[in-house]
Structure 1
Amino acid sequence: MNDNGTRYSAPALEKGLDIIELLTDHPEGLSLAELAKELGRTTAEIFRMVVTLETRGYLLAIGDRYVLSLLLFQLAHRHQPVRSLVSAALPLMTQLAKQAGQSFHLCVYQKGRVLIAAGVESPERWGFSLKVGTLIGLTDTASGQVLLAFQEEPQRVEMLELHIPVDGELEVNPPQLAKDLAQIRKHGNARMPSRQVKGVKNLAYPVFGRDGHAIATLTTPYIERIDNAEVPSMAEVGDMMKDAAQTLTALMGFNVYWDSATQPSR
């Protein structure tokens, strides 16, 4: 046993993982000296590891700073469950974008945060969307709250314990969050003004896995038109999204979707 209570240790691997995990919180990058300081190590201790990670394509050197490349993101999307979900969702999202004139995202939970796994931009002249691969808040976004709402209590507690706030994420108010999640379970979706950007209303529907728990959300940052253009209302877009989320749920192997009479087991 080592000091952490595990049977075996791999110091070099641990150093590499520490570097990668640290850089996920610093998109602007860190210098070798800054990496060493943050990790509580000397530059000599981590120099070889940084060079190796750069050589293997996990890090990019920009001037004297190191940033994460997109290699980890590419590897994640070669993972079969994520790849299958994204492949199934993209045609539906593309059709939704054409019908609704809005942008759409497919979001999944990732260790205390929410990841934009796929996205389709609005075909209109303007729109609002987030980059694929972006990490967003778990507790202050419609997507995060839907992912939390449709879980069993032990899983929800674990997700909140692992919660890592993103930059700018609002502080969690547990009683209010509990009320929000209860309303989401009642209505089967989340509709809320964006807590990050003025003028955007977020609408999110769950995609259920075979166990009846939310494995993803189909989300739109809805932008209301105030000119004479004839576009679907938010309620109409919600109906479209529910149908698409129901189709995705069926493709994931779960043949029951939320409605007022029958709700997936949680």
Structure 2
Amino acid sequence: MKHARILHNGAVCHATQAADGRLQLSDGTLLEEHEAVWLPPVEPRTTFTLAINYADHAKELAFRPPPEPLGFLKAANTFVGHRGITFRPDDVAFMHYECELAVVIGKTGRNIPREQAYDHVAGYTVANDYALRDYLENWYRPNLRVKSRDTCTPLGPWLVDRDDIPDPMNLDLRTTVNGVQTQSGNTRDMVFDIAALIEYFSGFMTLSPGDVILTGTPDGVVNVQVGDEVVTEIAGVGRLVNTIAALPR
């Protein structure tokens, strides 16, 4: 099943995807996609982000794949929903999208062995993890100004139940900018797969329901400008639409 969080009539509502693709509220009300204000499908608790977790992206940046996951944390202020606006600061020369599979934790665990990792997954959604290259000081541990800017992580539209994605390690990813495809890849090309990431992070801290792991992006990232419509899409998970706007003064 696909789940969403939206604003409707001034209230936060939970919805599912109806058979015809529309949003269905708990009272049976059906809404077209454009009739709702989309929120991130989950309210992230702790968000883990991966640097250089696709071999082709590592090659694109002239790096060798890392010997262990390169993880860092992302702040909650950065998330926006499907069809949301992301602001581009005036002083930034290079800002790029990153299409990523987001893994949502549904069960508390510590020291989780990889063979039990998927027991702790609630489901999956799409993330667009924008980066502001101008502020990058360390490729291996991007700082807050690169990865935790307001509005710079669209998430959604749906949270798809774990069991509805039989093989999350074989999903096509792609990004289009103004309708032109600029990025493509497949989750099978991750350096560290989902089970390895859950085992790794749970080895030194407890994972809890609502935690989110952003699993990295393939190569093909390009600079985006004010007015661009960026669509990040993962087969079976969702199509996340986002628009770049100038930062309000």
**Structure-1-length-normalised TM-score:** 0.27
Higher helix share: 1
Higher RCO, 1 vs 2 (CA within 8 Å, ≥6 residues apart): 2
Point out the structure with max Rg over C-alpha: 1
